Structure 1
Amino acid sequence: MEYINLVGSLAVLQFFFFGYMTGSARRKSGLKAPAVTGHPDFERMYRVQTNTLETIVAFLPALYISAQYWPPFIISLIGLVYIIGRFIYWRAYIASPEKRSLGFMLSMLPTLILLLLSVVGAFVQIFSA
């Protein structure tokens, strides 16, 4: 379970990092809170942070539930793909938002796989009893 806890913690740290980067973008742009529009650089970083929040809500439960039924090392590797995908998404979105697809897929696909593994694992557990 240590691998799962490490990957889960890294995902949350990544989210905090994106929050820090959003704050930095706000300061550099001069955009005052609570505004979230008005400067393209800030808006892109804000969208990275917001989209990461939207995905982590599904990723973390799927990570921890699937690890109850499948080998934690394999599940943690799938989780690492999510984290790498989020970094790719961040870099692409900042540079050119229309090129964010690879990073988006590399974070959504692992989440979907973990979710499906969670459901299959639960069904196997229920029906094997």
Structure 2
Amino acid sequence: MFQHLPAVVVLLTVLLQCGTAYAVGRARALYGVKAPATSGHPLFERAFRVQMNTLESTLMFLPALWLAATYSAPLWSGIAGLVWVLGRVWYAVGYLRDPARREGGFIVAAVGLLAVLGMGAIGLGKALLLG
């Protein structure tokens, strides 16, 4: 069961990406920001920044999660991954409401990212040293 937790985290990450893309599309329609524009109404710009910031973080998170799940403990990797997902959701909701409220979610997500990165790096290092 626990070996599948990282895969659940990947699915949740994909759903998070879908949610941020939906928020941008909805904001485009609500505020009349026609593609390919990436600026316009401030609430659209918030949604767009949430999507881009989450995408940028995901590009670091997923490989780190894979390394941690492969070279460390899948259970702990999955738990750290859940921390990242919950942090990113908190970040997104906070940023959409008020950009000043994004820090808490950012910090929680950063802790999750650093945890999977650390587990992956240590696990891979051990595997390389021990052959």
Contact 2:77 2:119 in 1 (8 A): no
Aligned to 1:47: 49
Contact 1:78 1:114 in 2 (8 A): yes
Contact 1:55 1:108 in 2 (8 A): no
Aligned to 2:86: 84
Aligned to 1:67: 69
Counterpart CA distance in 1 for 2:119 and 2:5 is: 17
Cα distance per residue 1:92-111 (max 9 Å; x no partner): 10111022111111112211
Counterpart CA distance in 1 for 2:34 and 2:99 is: 23
User: How much has 1:40 moved relative to structure 2?
Assistant: 0.8
* TM-score, normalised by the number of residues in structure 2: 0.94
Cα distance per residue 1:34-65 (max 9 Å; x no partner): 11111011100110000000000010011111
Counterpart CA distance in 2 for 1:96 and 1:122 is: 40
**Structure 2: runs of 5+ lacking an equivalent:** none
Residue identity over aligned pairs, in percent, reads 37
Q: After TM superposition, which residue ranges in structure 1, 4 or more long, deviate above 6 angstroms?
A: none
* TM-score, normalised by the number of residues in structure 1: 0.95
Contact 2:65 2:81 in 1 (8 A): yes
**Structure 1: runs of 5+ lacking an equivalent:** none
Amino acid at match of 1:48: V
Contact 1:89 1:104 in 2 (8 A): yes
Match status 1:7 vs 2:31: no
Cα distance per residue 1:46-86 (max 9 Å; x no partner): 10000000000010011111111222111111100111111
Matched positions, count: 129
User: How much has 1:88 moved relative to structure 2?
Assistant: 0.6
**Pairwise CA RMSD:** 1.0
User: How much has 1:20 moved relative to structure 2?
Assistant: 0.8
Amino acid at match of 1:19: A
Q: What secondary structure, in the 3-state scheme, does the structure 2 residue paired with 1:68 have?
A: helix
